[in-house]
């Protein structure tokens, strides 16, 4: 296969120089003022609605989506887009119901909410859980998938790609949230343009080699030749997909029917978009109107994401089925079909220059996500672990320095751990299943904490401790049950457990946060935008049911 050419490297380095220079300019402007930990971790009062929305998407759309979700698109088709389209609805729910509570109660980290609502012990336990998941699952998987793609495209060694991405991300992250937020605006523009270019050219390749005609005819050809890949709701036994080991498995295990609409997909999304430091951190430094507008903007961007991260995978499937890159899609060691190779292999078929733009888009997605995740790890470690247990009187400058050390430390761990993920076929599903072990507990604790005054610290403590072993136990006992169903079962058990314990121990360590009905009122422009987004998503589900 043809690797990057001089034109591609020029395009990529132009992107690199623009992002780095802009980030450095913002950093030097910020340094003129007094060192402030809230500015470093939250960019308090600095981010506009469009910067918040762009940063949310740039941090969310990473190698997980470009590589992992395109790989799942190759394997099971449009059904995997549920993670994007249901996320768009979830962002609106979070903007209406979660953000007002966080901002009114001056919440800066998720463990802080738990300490204020329940107890410091609950906050500490969950802070440790989050740090472990963020470092060993999220940060590691983003770095692994990004390096896998760069290795395939450039021909550089996997280790070189890991180190290059990590260093670039650290450079951005050490500037703090303000640098991350505003450079993410550039990142998301490159991401969308490059992603759309990849989709356009993938369909162009289908038109040239298979269907003839223009892009729309190619899209029709892809639809007609992969009809099983254009269903949003999967039934049991409807689609068998590669298992990464040379065999197949039922796609229903990953996306079990109506669970994506009325089941545990909501738990996964509410955990990610509403109870996740990595995401909510972008909005916690703004006022409510600005934060809501940012989340609505992000919701709109999520609607178009499947065009960028799923459709190329489906096009790659049609090309593969017709004899293209048969060797490249196979793991040379195991000789098994590897779905996650679809996107990087597809990039190598693009013409010079445009390949560089798509490569820049992929790199932008990876670096933005690495930076955002590392900053969140740093925030939780510094504010909820270090300041609380090691140096309560730490100065602003000292906390910022500790945060920078935490960033470097987390990235070093990810560099060491990332090669271990080579044994997984669809890394996107790996991420969902591992984070799904703690999602039920997090959502149960947060929702009851926000909307049921009688929930207390004892109940939250039990739920926090029980969520991981309960999820593992169900996974071992009932491996045939789809993981989303297991997540839902764990959630219901934990909610019931919290209600019973709260009623039994009512009055013990109850802590109030300010919640009132008027906090959930929205302005007309937000309401119109939200209804439009929900209407579009509803139509998509009806058409591709």
In a domain, 443, yes or no: no
User: Cα–Cα distance between 191 and 195 in angstroms, integer?
Assistant: 6
Report the alpha-carbon distance of residue 105 to residue 289 in Å, rounded: 16
pLDDT digits (tens, 9 = 90+) for 478-503: 888 888 888 899 999 999 999 999 99
**Cα–Cα dist 105/211, whole Å:** 58
State residue 1's pLDDT score: 46
Over the stretch 280-339, which tens digit does the pLDDT of each residue have?
Answer: 777 777 788 988 999 999 999 999 889 888 898 898 888 888 877 777 777 676 667 777
In a domain, 53, yes or no: yes
Does some domain include residue 348?
yes
156 in helix, strand or coil? coil
Token digits of residue 476: 């071992």
**Of 112, 84, 452, 398, nearest to 268 (Cα)?**
84
pLDDT of residue 459: 92
Q: How far apart are the first and last CA of the chain?
A: 37
Using the 8-state DSSP alphabet, how is residue 136 labeled? I
Residue 339 lies in a domain: yes
**Residue 242: strand pairing partners:** 248
pLDDT of residue 539: 94
Rounded Cα gap, residues 197 and 278, in angstroms: 28
Residue 237 Rama label (left phi>0; alpha psi -120 to 50; beta): left
- Cα(288)–Cα(99) distance, rounded to whole angstroms? 7
Q: DSSP letter string over 38-85?
A: HHHHH-TTT--HHHHHHHHHHHHSSHIIIIIIHHHHHHHGGGGGHHHH
- Alpha carbons 476 and 143: distance in angstroms, whole number: 28
What percent of the residues of the chain are helix, what percent strand, and what percent coil, each to the nearest 5? 75, 0, 25
pLDDT lower than 70: segments of the chain: 1-3, 26-46, 62-64, 175-184, 243-246, 331, 333-335, 422-433, 506-511
Global pTM? 0.83
Has residue 239 been placed in a domain?
yes
324-331: long-range contacts, CB 8 A cutoff, minimum separation 24: 324/209, 324/349, 325/1, 325/349, 328/1, 331/244
φ, ψ for residue 130 (rounded to 5)?
Answer: -60, -45
| Domain carrying residue 326 | 6-26+37-425
* 31 within some domain: no
What DSSP character marks residue 384? I
57: CATH: 1.20.1730.10
Residues 6+ apart with CB under 8 A from 349: 1, 205, 324, 325
In a domain, 57, yes or no: yes
147: tokens are 């390096």
User: Measuring CA to CA, which residue among 246, 223, 249, 247 is closest to residue 238?
Assistant: 249
Total of domains in the chain: 1
The verdict on residue 472 lying in a domain is: no
Position 536 scores a pLDDT of: 95
- From start to end of 132-275, where are the E strands? 240-242, 248-250
């Amino acid at each position: 296969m043809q690797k990057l050419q001089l034109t591609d490297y020029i395009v990529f380095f132009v992107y690199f120089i623009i992002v780095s220079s802009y980030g450095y300019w913002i950093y030097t402007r910020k340094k003129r003022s007094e060192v402030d930990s809230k500015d470093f971790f939250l960019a308090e009062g600095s981010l506009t609605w469009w910067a918040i929305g762009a940063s949310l998407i740039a941090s969310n759309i990473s190698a997980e989506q470009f590589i992992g979700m395109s790989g799942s698109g190759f394997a099971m088709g449009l059904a995997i887009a549920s993670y994007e389209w249901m996320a768009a609805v979830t962002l609106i729910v979070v903007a209406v119901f979660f953000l007002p509570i966080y901002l009114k109660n001056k919440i800066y980290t998720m463990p802080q909410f738990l300490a204020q609502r329940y107890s410091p012990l609950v906050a500490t336990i969950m802070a440790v859980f989050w740090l472990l998941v963020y470092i060993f699952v999220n940060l590691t998987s983003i770095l692994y998938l990004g390096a896998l793609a760069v290795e395939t495209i450039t021909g550089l060694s996997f280790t070189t790609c890991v180190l290059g991405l990590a260093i670039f991300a650290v450079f951005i992250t050490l500037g703090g949230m303000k640098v991350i937020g505003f450079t993410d605006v550039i990142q998301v523009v490159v991401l969308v343009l490059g992603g759309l270019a990849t989709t356009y050219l993938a369909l162009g390749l289908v038109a040239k080699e298979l269907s003839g005609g223009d892009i729309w005819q190619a899209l029709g050809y892809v639809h007609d030749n992969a009809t099983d890949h254009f269903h949003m709701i999967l039934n049991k036994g409807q689609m068998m997909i590669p298992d990464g080991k040379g065999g197949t498995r039922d796609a229903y295990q990953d996306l079990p029917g109506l669970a994506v609409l009325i089941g545990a997909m909501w738990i996964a999304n509410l955990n990610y978009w509403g109870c996740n430091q990595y995401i909510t951190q972008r909005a916690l430094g703004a006022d409510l109107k600005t934060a809501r507008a940012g989340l609505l903007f992000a919701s709109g961007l999520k609607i178009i994401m499947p065009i960028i991260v799923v459709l190329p995978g489906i096009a790659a499937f049609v090309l593969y089925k017709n004899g293209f890159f048969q060797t490249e899609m196979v793991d040379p060691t195991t000789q098994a079909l590897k779905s996650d190779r679809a996107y990087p292999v597809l990039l190598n078929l693009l013409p010079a220059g445009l390949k560089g733009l798509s490569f820049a888009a992929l790199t932008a997605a990876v670096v933005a996500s690495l930076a955002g995740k590392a900053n969140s790890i740093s925030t939780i470690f510094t504010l909820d672990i270090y300041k609380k247990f090691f140096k309560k009187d730490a100065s602003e400058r000292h906390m910022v320095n500790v945060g920078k050390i935490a960033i470097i430390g987390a990235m070093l761990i990810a560099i060491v751990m990332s090669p271990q993920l080579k044994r997984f076929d669809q890394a996107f599903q790996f991420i969902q299943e591992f984070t799904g072990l703690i999602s039920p507990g997090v959502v149960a604790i947060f929702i009851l904490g926000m909307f049921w005054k009688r929930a207390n610290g004892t109940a939250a403590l039990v739920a926090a401790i029980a969520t991981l072993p309960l999820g593992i136990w169900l996974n071992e006992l009932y491996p045939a049950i789809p993981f989303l169903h297991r997540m839902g079962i764990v959630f219901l058990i934990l909610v019931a457990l919290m209600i019973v314990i709260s009623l039994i121990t009512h009055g013990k360590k109850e802590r109030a946060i300010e919640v009132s009905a008027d906090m959930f009122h929205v302005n007309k422009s937000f309401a119109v935008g939200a209804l439009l987004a929900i209407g579009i998503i509803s139509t998509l589900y009806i058409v591709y049911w």
